[in-house]
Structure 1
Amino acid sequence: MVGAVAAALTNARALSPWRAILGFGLVSLAADMVYEGARSITGPLLAGLGASALVVGVVTGAGEAAALLLRLVSGPLADRTARYWALTITGYGLTAVCVPLLALAPALGGAGLAVAALLIVAERIGKAIRSPAKSALLAEAAGSVGRGRGFAVHKALDQVGAFAGPLLVAAGVAVSAGVIWPALAALAVPGAAAMLLLVWISRRFPAPARKETPGTVAAGRLPRRFHWFAMSAAAATGGLVTFGLLSYHASRTGQIPVALVPVLYAGAMAAGAVSALASGHLYDRWGARVLYALPALAAATPALALSGSAPAIVTGTLLWGAAVGVQDSTVKALVADLVPAPRRATAYGVFAAVQGVAALAGGLLAGALYEHSLTLLAVVLAAAQLVSVVLLAVTLRMR
């Protein structure tokens, strides 16, 4: 019986490009319910375990840095070994395991904060392992249908999960009278669903065809325009405050109750889905000029989201979500268009590593400045976005 099932999966008809994109999107939907659900409550969770604003900034910044910097290793590894699917499945597996284990942190007493911090960073390492390989697979599927639209549709489905996960967490926290751990434990269910679906898709969609044999490094340097664009994206990432700090501020000021913080995050993810679809569609029609929207959205975020008014906090957080939507979809489409196929996983790894340095620096800077001057913090982050605009202009003028 098992042999028959394995044979059927092996001989199953290959997915068409759009079906493959939708399949990846559904995997991301389920996985996003897991890690975005947890991410929506990271600030209050760490605060409840005794973390200060600086610690929240360091942990969330280090997590994002790990998710980006380690792709410098996983990206070339994917291109060199051609094990795109193995790396994708391994990375998703780490997320499916680490997030539900966060439910144990409040029961660990004084060690809870350290364990939670380690699990948060470990989950982001899982993202680092899978992302370059998954992006290369997705770029391959989207190549024949328009990469702007392909990445946008994937991101929109991804954001549906990012919307549903925080709502699930919010419901769990509300039912548990403000206790966080039961909601985190419940995220094991969508995690298992993501893994089952991912394994099924891996049997029906082949890895990108290679012009080099496994074990050899693709020849040639990455294009110069790619490096300029990576610097532009790094400035935008460093100047984009993390949701961990936004949620810390929202709950600390009392403007947003802890139980509603995941709902706020869900709203941001919905805004991200809309911005991904809009920017992806416009990218295929107008080109990379649409990416000027990213620094504009990011620059407007801190002045509103770090204010003392609930409507301003909500508005600023929605702008943050829209910026993330563009950053995680249309930005990747341009990377795929700038770099030849055999080097794409490597390019995604290098690109993310540059962003990772910026994320860590930005997290540290934002956490430190938050304690001293919110006005200065907003000005510094806006200046980073101005640098991003200049570098993007240089990139688009190059041939």
Structure 2
Amino acid sequence: MHLDRTAHHIAYRIIIILGIVALLGDIIYEGARSISGPYLLTLGASAVLVGTITGAGEFLGYAVRLISGRVADSTRMYWALTALGYGMLITVPLLAFTGSWEMAAVLFILERIGKGIRSPPKDTILSHATAPIGRGMGFGIHELLDQIGAVAGPVILAVALAGTGTYKEGFLLLFIPFIILIGLVLVAWRLLPDPVSFEKGHIALYSEATGIGREFIMFSVFTLLCTAGFLSFPLISFHALQTGLMVAYEIPLLYAGAMLVDAAIAPIAGRLYDTKGIILLLPIPLIGIILPFLGFGMGRELIFLSAILFGISMGIQETVLRAAIADRIHISKRGTAYGIFNTIYGAGFFIGGILVGWMYENYTAFAPAVPAMVSLAACIVFIRVWRSSDHQES
């Protein structure tokens, strides 16, 4: 009993510390991303270059996850890779010293690569640390703290920009959360130096979890269809602005509201997953069927409702999908699995964004049907995933 209390205590401390790390990280990079376009333009970059730079960063950020996940499993250097990835956030405050768009572009791309390096090993550490308390709840707490940072980051940068009138002071301000973040990563590393041994020592429930096999492939197909059929917020906001349903200054507030919904729903969805199981994945494609008809609707109330559903779905995605992987992949392959998952997760958004964006430009009336049909396909695949899960548990 004392061992269980100790394990719970360590688990909660690690989850909260890494949650605060994620919060600070979001303040840094989400704050920077909120002004990256205008900043590059002030340095002389064209709109095409801005799109190319951001697109290249996202592509490399997701591609490197395949490598970092595999390296994490083969070397078990989960903390070193996590620390390296977070350390690369130094590129954001260093933007204060750039004098050309070329140098700024390099720093923006390096930040994305850093996120790609740290994501699989960080998720793996969390999968081990959350085992004693329930992975859904653990990932839910982490997502709650993470989204607080996602809301705070752009607000802090906006206030700094409004107060000083220049970008330099805003970027310099980000040295503060960066220093605190690195210190907390080192504290967590010392508190739980061997995450794999921690799970093995306190949890036997998932000892029979398999490697990357047929079930994981079906889960990956489900993930790809869910994200490809999920209407992204940029498309919702583009529609709202183009149709005059909202004005420019309302969009960041709408997004902040969606992120607050995300933060609120994450721990609830996580706890329900721990008690009800994989059925908690089903709301993701169900919302995906409804969302495009609201997000591409012709009323302000529909746009508001779409933002709420967007936040609910993101809260479930970021919590339940990651927890479900940990419950179904053996310890020895978990970093690799998270690397594959993160890549597929990003690829789905990329494919869906291009497809739905093209449909909206050329066949506006039929645009909502495309993501809805993809989400319907995800519901069908979910039946296979659910049956496979029931078979494994039985």
Q: Provide the TM-score with structure 1 as the length reference.
A: 0.80
Aligned twin of 1:215: none
- How far apart are 1:314 and its partner, in Å? 3.5
Matched, 1:145 2:141: no
- Counterpart-to-counterpart distance in 2, 1:296 and 1:181: 44
One-letter amino acid of the structure 1 residue matched with residue 310 of structure 2: W
- Pairwise mapping of residues 182-201 of structure 1 onto structure 2 (< 5 A)? 183=170, 186-201=173-188
Matched, 1:20 2:14: yes
3-state DSSP of counterpart to 2:196: coil
Tell me which moved more, 288-297 or 310-319.
Answer: 310-319
- Pairwise mapping of residues 27-176 of structure 1 onto structure 2 (< 5 A)? 27-41=21-35, 50-51=46-47, 56=51, 63-94=57-88, 96-100=89-93, 108=100, 112=101, 119-175=107-163
Aligned twin of 1:355: 345
- Counterpart-to-counterpart distance in 1, 2:233 and 2:176: 24
Contact 1:304/1:316, CA 8 A, preserved across alignment: yes
User: What RMSD, in angstroms, separates the aligned Cα atoms of the two structures?
Assistant: 3.3
- How far apart are 1:131 and its partner, in Å? 0.9
Tell me which moved more, 25-34 or 296-305.
Answer: 296-305
Matched, 1:377 2:373: no
- How far apart are 1:61 and its partner, in Å? 5.8
Contact 1:43/1:248, CA 8 A, preserved across alignment: no
- Pairwise mapping of residues 162-311 of structure 1 onto structure 2 (< 5 A)? 162-175=150-163, 183=170, 186-209=173-196, 221-250=211-240, 255-307=245-297, 309-311=299-301
Tell me which moved more, 222-231 or 356-365.
Answer: 356-365
Question: In structure 2, do the counterparts of structure 1 residues 62 and 295 end up closer, same or farther at CA, with 3 Å as the change threshold?
Answer: farther
- How far apart are 1:33 and its partner, in Å? 1.4
Tell me which moved more, 365-374 or 291-300.
Answer: 365-374
**Could you list the runs of 5+ residues in structure 1 that have no partner in the other structure?**
1-13, 212-219
3-state DSSP of counterpart to 1:206: coil
Tell me which moved more, 118-127 or 220-229.
Answer: 118-127
Contact 1:40/1:243, CA 8 A, preserved across alignment: no
- How far apart are 1:159 and its partner, in Å? 1.3
Identity of aligned residues (%): 37
Listed one character per residue, the Cα deviations across residues 256-278 of structure 1 (whole Å, up to 9, x for unaligned) are 55444433322221111122112
- How far apart are 1:102 and its partner, in Å? 5.5
3-state DSSP of counterpart to 2:195: coil
- How far apart are 1:174 and its partner, in Å? 4.4
Contact 1:37/1:262, CA 8 A, preserved across alignment: no
Question: In structure 2, do the counterparts of structure 1 residues 64 and 380 end up closer, same or farther at CA, with 3 Å as the change threshold?
Answer: farther
- Counterpart-to-counterpart distance in 2, 1:63 and 1:73: 16
One-letter amino acid of the structure 2 residue matched with residue 165 of structure 1: G
- Counterpart-to-counterpart distance in 2, 1:187 and 1:25: 18
Listed one character per residue, the Cα deviations across residues 129-157 of structure 1 (whole Å, up to 9, x for unaligned) are 00111111111111111111111111111
Aligned twin of 2:384: 394
Question: In structure 2, do the counterparts of structure 1 residues 265 and 103 end up closer, same or farther at CA, with 3 Å as the change threshold?
Answer: farther
Question: In structure 2, do the counterparts of structure 1 residues 100 and 275 end up closer, same or farther at CA, with 3 Å as the change threshold?
Answer: same
Contact 1:238/1:360, CA 8 A, preserved across alignment: yes
Contact 1:88/1:130, CA 8 A, preserved across alignment: yes
Contact 2:96/2:172, CA 8 A, preserved across alignment: yes
Aligned twin of 2:5: none
- How far apart are 1:351 and its partner, in Å? 1.6
Greater relative contact order structure (CA < 8 Å, 6+ sep): 1
Contact 2:211/2:329, CA 8 A, preserved across alignment: no
Tell me which moved more, 374-383 or 300-309.
Answer: 300-309
- Counterpart-to-counterpart distance in 2, 1:263 and 1:131: 28
- How far apart are 1:345 and its partner, in Å? 0.6
Contact 1:40/1:261, CA 8 A, preserved across alignment: no
Question: In structure 2, do the counterparts of structure 1 residues 36 and 249 end up closer, same or farther at CA, with 3 Å as the change threshold?
Answer: farther
Tell me which moved more, 31-40 or 225-234.
Answer: 31-40
Question: In structure 2, do the counterparts of structure 1 residues 369 and 301 end up closer, same or farther at CA, with 3 Å as the change threshold?
Answer: same
Contact 1:15/1:204, CA 8 A, preserved across alignment: no
- Counterpart-to-counterpart distance in 2, 1:380 and 1:103: 42
**Could you list the runs of 5+ residues in structure 2 that have no partner in the other structure?**
1-7, 200-209
One-letter amino acid of the structure 1 residue matched with residue 384 of structure 2: V
- How far apart are 1:193 and its partner, in Å? 2.2
- Counterpart-to-counterpart distance in 1, 2:352 and 2:87: 28
Q: Provide the TM-score with structure 2 as the length reference.
A: 0.81
Contact 1:223/1:339, CA 8 A, preserved across alignment: no
One-letter amino acid of the structure 1 residue matched with residue 62 of structure 2: L
One-letter amino acid of the structure 2 residue matched with residue 99 of structure 1: V
3-state DSSP of counterpart to 1:145: coil
Q: How many residues align structurally?
A: 371
3-state DSSP of counterpart to 1:26: helix
- How far apart are 1:312 and its partner, in Å? 3.4
3-state DSSP of counterpart to 1:280: helix
Tell me which moved more, 360-369 or 270-279.
Answer: 360-369
3-state DSSP of counterpart to 1:301: helix
